Structure 1
């Protein structure tokens, strides 16, 4: 059994984040939360979103799993305007999830979860934590996208740098420690990442959101932030780009 009511903007934010990696996802439902995990087909990035029952206006659930086609879900959410509520109800007998938005009802067939991956999120220990508003990252990415297919992130005790260098051009964003929301770094660390993956996730994070980037030298990056007024925790992992000598 699963019945819930949620703001359309909240559900859109969650769905858009996870859909940067996969087209189908498994919702692991518990009496107090919903968890979504995804890893992209190339195993370059993975994400875990834990949505507390507090993110919903109403929430009643037993432990269960449902698989959804995210393109279908996004098509339904396009019907919802700002401030609209989305009513969700699982119909296990018919194998469907029922969406109600205003006077519109959509019954969506579920996707079999048997073949879906259940990635284990690794424990990663990094030496640098950078906390800042996502708006700065969006600007740095906009300046970099036409230059190269990878981006360099650097943290030092003095600040944070996002840089991109191509054959002829380069872009550089530097934010001193005084302008960051937080910085924990004892020595300089730097790592390169595929720009398309980094850009895709940053673009769907709502403006004004505070994000924390965990870095180390040539090491996977952790990007952490909250959605739904702090009731949904997002962890995004991105593998580094290691260039051969």
Structure 2
């Protein structure tokens, strides 16, 4: 049995975050909440998401794994307003899922779960970290995209730098320790990442209080943030661009 209800804003946020990386995802509903693990087809970006059942208005769940198309789901959920309720049910006997927003009902057949195996999430010891407001990071990512496709992130004991050098334009943003919520760096580090996988997060970060970034010299980037008053938790992993990638 699966019968969950949540406000449109929560459902929209979940789907928007997952849609940054994949078009299809397997949603694992359990007694305590929702768990999703996805990786993009190129294995460059990965998301680990957990949402506590307390974030939902209704949570009547037997363990269920449901494969859904993110784009279709996002388009349908966007029909509703921020105050609307979204109800998701699944009938195992008929194999049909139903999503209800007000009077509007969408019936769909879930995807084959065997094609949606979740990835193993890496355990990374990343040496440097910084915590920044979601609004500041959103602005930095949107500005960076104006200059190029690759962003350099640099961190020292007192400064976090976002730097982009494109073919003709460049953008640089420096954040001092006073501008940041936290900074942790014993030795300077610099690494480069694709904005293709970061810029879509800018819209989401506008609604997030703060984001923790951890990386190292040519290390993967891990972005960690919460939503839904802390009931939702996301870890976003992104592989670095190193010299051999050019």
Q: TM-score, normalised by structure 2?
A: 0.95
Q: For 1:114-155, what per-residue CA distance to the aligned partner results, in whole angstroms no more than 9, with x for missing partners?
A: 111310000000111100112212222222213221000111
Q: For 1:138-197, what per-residue CA distance to the aligned partner results, in whole angstroms no more than 9, with x for missing partners?
A: 222222213221000111111211000123321101110011011111111110001111
Secondary structure of the equivalent of 1:144? helix
Secondary structure of the equivalent of 1:135? helix
- Counterpart residue number, 1:131: 131
Does structure 2 conserve the Cα–Cα contact (< 8 Å) formed by 1:17 and 1:205? Answer: no
Q: Aligned ranges for residues 69-80 of structure 1 at < 5 Å?
A: 69-80=69-80
Secondary structure of the equivalent of 1:72? helix
Distance 2:196 2:11 in 1: 24
1:5 matches 2:5 = yes
Give, in angstroms, the shift of residue 208 of structure 1.
4.5
Q: How many residues align?
A: 245
Does structure 1 conserve the Cα–Cα contact (< 8 Å) formed by 2:139 and 2:202? Answer: no
Does structure 1 conserve the Cα–Cα contact (< 8 Å) formed by 2:48 and 2:235? Answer: yes
Q: Aligned ranges for residues 222-237 of structure 1 at < 5 Å?
A: 222-237=222-237
- Counterpart residue number, 2:189: 189
Distance 1:138 1:243 in 2: 27
Distance 2:79 2:200 in 1: 23
Q: For 1:196-239, what per-residue CA distance to the aligned partner results, in whole angstroms no more than 9, with x for missing partners?
A: 11112233334342100001110000000011111010010000
Q: For 1:71-125, what per-residue CA distance to the aligned partner results, in whole angstroms no more than 9, with x for missing partners?
A: 2211220221121111111111221221111122221211111111310000000
1:119 matches 2:99 = no
Distance 2:125 2:168 in 1: 36
Unpaired segments ≥5 residues, structure 1 = none
Segment drifting more, 50-59 vs 207-216: 207-216
Does structure 1 conserve the Cα–Cα contact (< 8 Å) formed by 2:84 and 2:101? Answer: yes
Secondary structure of the equivalent of 2:114? coil
Secondary structure of the equivalent of 1:114? helix
Give, in angstroms, the shift of residue 67 of structure 1.
0.5
- Counterpart residue number, 2:21: 21
The 4+ residue runs of structure 1 with deviation greater than 4 A are none
Distance 1:41 1:79 in 2: 28
- Counterpart residue number, 1:109: 109
Unpaired segments ≥5 residues, structure 2 = none
Does structure 2 conserve the Cα–Cα contact (< 8 Å) formed by 1:6 and 1:56? Answer: yes
Q: TM-score, normalised by structure 1?
A: 0.96
Secondary structure of the equivalent of 1:119? coil
- Counterpart residue number, 1:173: 173
